Amino acid sequence: MLDKPLKLKILYNFSLIGGIGMRFFGRKKKEETLKNVETAKESVTELEKLCGNDKEVYEALLNTMFLDPKKIDVSLEDAVKRAKNFEKNKDLLRAKVWYEIAGGLALYKGDAKKVKEYFGKCEKISGEKYLILKNVEKAVSKAQEYYRKYLA
């Protein structure tokens, strides 16, 4: 067994070495992270370019739009059916999720009436505010422009 003072000295030296190592090896990661953050701030997404200065529409689409809805294996009708079934069974969280999916698919199809209906249901069920409901037609128009440009 080691003496208590010797044991403390070994632990102290070990922590010093560990601290030096962490500072030495951690510095590069920190610098790389800062560079990645700066690059991310400079890069503008295609959706941001499309929306331009209209931050409200951008924020609305950012939280509701599917960037590649072709990869979703559920039809709009099936999503609505599931949402209504969960709502009927008082499973409101799942109902909200399925109404959001239905709203996103309606957005892809360009149906402003259904977008308003489904995201309105989400808002009613969850109490959350959906920015897309403030200007549905403009949001649908921008989403359709995005889909024509990037999914054609």
Kindly provide the residue ranges of all beta strands, DSSP E only, lying in 85-148, ordered along the sequence. none
**Which bin fits 66, alpha (ψ -120 to 50), beta or left (φ > 0)?**
beta
pLDDT value, residue 32? 63
Per-residue tokens: 48: 């941001």
pLDDT value of position 69? 92
The number of angstroms, rounded, from the C-alpha of 5 to the middle of its chain's C-alpha atoms is 54
Q: What are the backbone dihedrals phi and psi of residue 90, each rounded to the nearest 5 degrees, phi first?
A: 65, 25
Instruction: Check residue 44 and give its pLDDT.
Output: 76
At residue 42, the pLDDT reads 57
Q: Which two tokens stand for residue 21?
A: 């190592």
- pTM higher than 0.75, yes or no? no
Residue 89 confidence (pLDDT): 97
pLDDT value at residue 45:
87
Ordered by start, the domain boundaries in the chain are 1-43, 46-150
Question: In this structure, which amino acid lies at residue 69?
Answer: P
- Residue by residue, pLDDT tens for the chain (152 residues) are 555 555 555 555 555 555 555 555 555 555 666 555 555 555 678 999 989 899 999 999 999 999 899 999 999 999 999 999 999 999 999 999 999 999 999 999 999 999 999 999 999 999 999 999 999 999 999 999 999 998 87
